[in-house]
Each structure stands twice: as structure tokens, then as C-alpha cells.
Structure 1
Amino acid sequence: MMLTGKQKRFLRAQAHQIKPIFQVGKSGVNENMTKQIAEALEARELIKVSVLQNCLQDRNEVAKEIEKDTNANIVQVIGSTIVLYKTSVNNPTSELPQ
């Protein structure tokens, strides 16, 4: 599902007060991390991932890799922070604007 501009704005506002719960460091994105991120997305729908300075990959590449591996949507990449959204399969909570 592609997010519309309106939905992305809505999610950015929601994400404003959230703290990053994952950090991508020197080793980059691995299978275990994407599994944990997928579980967190299922539980919360909207999360932030922080890309540390020692990460060898570009933050946009990191975002695309996580997006591909978790089937999430990139809401925003700002500074070293990636905001991701995925509708929960079992417990959808966010009501997105149309």
C-alpha cells in the first residue's frame, strides 16, 4: 500500500513524540533486526529507527532495505531517523485519513 501525502503528514505528526526503538550501527541491517522491526511494527504500527554515525550504509539505503524486508512504508527519513508505518494485521489501531 502506498501512503498518500495526507496520510504521511498525519503519520509524521503522530511520530513526532515517539522515540526511536531500534538503532542501525556498523553492521547495518541484518535478518534478526528486520524480524524484530517487523514484530514491533505489528505491535505498534508506527516506529522510528535511528541510524548511527558508524553505519556504513546510506540512511536511505537502510530505510529501503527495512521497507523491503518488512513490507512497511517509509513515512519519512529525516536526519538520521527513519519513520516506518505498517498496518497491524491482528490489531489495527491507527485510523488513517483518506
Structure 2
Amino acid sequence: MELRGKQKRFLRSEAHHLNPIIQIGKGGLTESVIDQIEETLERRELIKISLLQNTDEVADDVAEALTQAINCDVVQIIGRVLVVFKPSSKEKFQKISIAVRKI
């Protein structure tokens, strides 16, 4: 789902109060971390990911890898924090994606 400007702005405002749920540390972006991100996105649709100081990963590279691996949208990158959105495939978890489609 390609997001338009207004949709990204809405998602940024929704993510403002969220705390980072997933942290990427010195192990880097491994397959298990990607699986965990995918499972979390399935339930929440919008999450923040934090890159800890001891990781060698760069936020832009992580954003590119996540976009390729799980087909999600990186809404915003601020420093070492990424805001990631992916509509849920299960109807009971689709709260944010319904609001995004209306915009």
C-alpha cells in the first residue's frame, strides 16, 4: 500500500505517543527480529522500532531491509527511531488501516 502525504501525516500523529516496542541491539537485524516485527505489525499495525547505541545498523538500511522483507511502509525516521506501518490481514486488528483508507 503506497501511502500519500496526508496518510503519512496521520500515521505520524498516531505514532507520536507510542513508545518503541522493538529494539535492535548489537545482534543487528536478524531473521528472528524480522519475524518478531512482522508478528507485532500483524496485531498493532503501527509500531516504533529503536536502534540501540551498541548496534552497527543504520536507520536507512534497516528501513530498506524491512520494506524488502515484510512489505511494510516506513512512515518516519527520526534519528535512531523508525515508525513502521503495515495493514493487518486479520479484520479484528484493522483499526488504524481503516482510518488510513478513509483519508
TM-score tier, shorter chain, comes to over 0.9
| Structure 1 residue 66: Cα displacement | 1.6
Alignment partners' CA distance in 1, 2:25 and 2:59: 11
The percentage of counterpart residues that share the same residue type is 44
Partner of 1:80: 80
Misfit runs of 4+, over 3 Å: none
| Structure 1 residue 67: Cα displacement | 2.0
Partner of 2:63: 63
Consecutive unaligned residues in structure 2, runs of 5 or more: none
| Structure 1 residue 64: Cα displacement | 1.3
**Matched position secondary structure for 2:61:** helix
| Structure 1 residue 28: Cα displacement | 1.1
Q: Are 1:90 and 2:86 matched, yes or no?
A: no
Letter of the 2:61 partner, please give it: E
Q: Is the 8 A contact 2:18 2:48 kept in 1?
A: yes
Alignment partners' CA distance in 2, 1:63 and 1:78: 12
Q: Are 1:9 and 2:3 matched, yes or no?
A: no
| Structure 1 residue 34: Cα displacement | 0.7
Structure with greater proportional helix content: 2
Alignment partners' CA distance in 2, 1:63 and 1:24: 12
Alignment partners' CA distance in 1, 2:63 and 2:28: 11
Letter of the 1:68 partner, please give it: Q
Alignment partners' CA distance in 2, 1:28 and 1:68: 16
| Structure 1 residue 56: Cα displacement | 0.8
Partner of 2:24: 24
Q: Is the 8 A contact 1:28 1:62 kept in 2?
A: no
**Number of equivalences:** 98
Alignment partners' CA distance in 2, 1:72 and 1:12: 15
Q: Is the 8 A contact 1:18 1:47 kept in 2?
A: yes
Consecutive unaligned residues in structure 1, runs of 5 or more: none
Alignment partners' CA distance in 2, 1:62 and 1:54: 15
Alignment partners' CA distance in 2, 1:6 and 1:41: 21
